[in-house]
Structure 1
Amino acid sequence: MLEVNSLTRQYGSKRAVDRATFTVAQPTMIGVIGRSGAGKSTLLRMLNRLTDATDGSVTVNGRNVTRLTGAARREWQSRCAMIFQQFNLVPRLDVVSNVLHGTLNRRSTLATMFNLYPQSDIHRAIEILDRLGIAEQAPKRTEALSGGQQQRVAIARALMQDPEIILADEPIASLDPMNAQVVMQALRRIHEEDGRMVIANLHTLDTARRYCDRVIGMRDGRIVFDGTPAQLTTGIAREIYGAGADFSEAATSTEIETLDREMEAVRVSDALV
């Protein structure tokens, strides 16, 4: 389904992504991990064609999408939806209008100017919001929602595109642990129930292990690990993050139970002092 071959993005003398190569034969949920600046976001942006590759190719079902231009490129971007860390919603618009923006690629300029949507699209938008547990928020202005709710609106907007692939760039980085779990559970359900490929940049190891079928580790623009969650040992994680023996997975955790244990350990340590 998806073949990435020697994909490279160079900025001056620096390679943000250096000859990334991997193949995905069927719809899978993949987590991409690595420290800040490892090239994770650039990789996703090249898959979606928001950023052009310096070299290499992305092939989907035999079609080289790195060569697409104009309408063909926009059509590919509608099939490969992007979800961002900062949501990229219109704060003053109501929730359902933000979701309907997922149909902009197939609407006329006139309809876009006057904000005209067919009833079928409006009903579908509300159905998607209901599926994500936030249908009651549909008439509210988006800026009134919590961060976790806004990210689910962004997921709903992506689903309005009816994409084959969903790319999520640090979708839970700005969320608290409870909302982070809700968002990841939503992405996992979409993968399982719809059969869509999901590729998510993640900053925590426990999240990658819990929700993903496959994990790709990046360091300095290169893929240094590609395997199952079970194969992602603490030793391999140290290599991916370039960390020493003092590396603690708990420091990257989004699990509420883990964070509670860490806080309790700190309280006990303070009490002993």
Structure 2
Amino acid sequence: MLEISALTKRFGDRTAVDKASFVVTEPAMIGIIGSSGAGKSTMLRMLNRLTDASEGAIRFQGQDITALTGRARRKWQSRCAMIFQQFNLVPRMDVVSNVLHGTLNRRSTLATMFNLYPREDVETAIEILDRLGVAEHAAKRAEALSGGQQQRVAIARALMQDPAIILADEPIASLDPMNAQIVMDRLRRIHDEDGRMVIANLHTLDTARRYCDRIIGMRAGRIVFDGTPAQLTTGVARDIYGAGADFSESATSTAIEQDEAERPAARMAEPA
């Protein structure tokens, strides 16, 4: 489905991503890990074509994504939706209108100027918000919601594009552990139920192991690990982060402490 070949991005004399290559043969939930400055965000921005590659190629279902321009590029950005750490919502706009912004690439300029949406799009937006557990906030301003709720609205906006791929750039970095868990549960459910590919930059190893089918580790712009959660040992993590023997995963954990009676609960059963 997705083929990345020797993808490289340079900013002046600095190489942010250095000849990265990997292939995804079927929809999967993939986590990208690495220290700050490893090239994770630049990688996603190139996949979405927010940033142009210096060298290399991106192909999706045989199409050369790196060669797209104009309308074809915008169409790709609809198929490859982006979710950001800081949500990128319009704070003073109501929640449902923020979600409907996911349709902008397929609407006319006039309709966009006058904020005109087909009834079926509004109904779809409400259905998606309901699926993400925030439909009761549809009429509120986005700024009135908590961080976790705003991130779920951002996910709803991405789903409104009906994308083949969802890219999430540190989607839980600014959230508390409970909201981080809820957001990751929703992303995993979207992958499982819709069959959409999800690629997420993550800053905690326990999150990557728990939610992802495949984990890619980056260091100094290069891919230094590509394997299963079981293969991501503490020793491998030290290599990815360039850490010494004193490296402790517990310092990066987002796990929520639970009573013994709660531990058997299914992952998808947490409150919305």
Q: How does 1:109-258 map to 2 (within 5 A)?
A: 109-257=109-257
Aligned residues: CA RMSD: 0.6
Structure 1: how far apart are the matches of 2:242 and 2:113? 50
Structure 1: how far apart are the matches of 2:2 and 2:193? 20
| Cα offset, 1:256, TM superposition | 1.3
Percent of aligned positions that are identical: 79
Matched with 2:262 is none
Matched with 1:79 is 79
Structure number with higher helix proportion: 1
Q: State the AA in 2 paired with 1:200.
A: A
Structure 1 ranges of 4+ moved more than 2 A:
none
Structure 2: how far apart are the matches of 1:133 and 1:152? 8
Q: State the AA in 1 paired with 2:124.
A: R
Q: Which runs of 5+ in 1 are unaligned?
A: 259-273
Structure 2: how far apart are the matches of 1:104 and 1:248? 44
Structure 1: how far apart are the matches of 2:61 and 2:92? 39
| Deviations 1:206-228, CA, capped at 9 Å, x for gaps | 00000000000000000000000
**When the two structures are superposed, what TM-score results if normalisation uses the length of structure 2?**
0.94
Structure 1: how far apart are the matches of 2:246 and 2:98? 44
Structure 1: how far apart are the matches of 2:113 and 2:173? 34
Structure 2: how far apart are the matches of 1:250 and 1:257? 12
Structure 1: how far apart are the matches of 2:48 and 2:61? 15
Matched with 1:93 is 93
| Cα offset, 1:257, TM superposition | 2.0
Q: State the AA in 2 paired with 1:116.
A: L
Structure 2: how far apart are the matches of 1:236 and 1:9? 25
Aligned length: 258
| Cα offset, 1:21, TM superposition | 0.2
Matched with 1:270 is none
Matched with 2:14 is 14
**When the two structures are superposed, what TM-score results if normalisation uses the length of structure 1?**
0.94
| Cα offset, 1:44, TM superposition | 0.2
Structure 2: how far apart are the matches of 1:123 and 1:68? 32
Matched with 2:50 is 50
Matched with 2:23 is 23
| Deviations 1:152-187, CA, capped at 9 Å, x for gaps | 000000000000000000000000000000000000
Q: State the AA in 1 paired with 2:68.
A: L
Q: Which runs of 5+ in 2 are unaligned?
A: 259-272
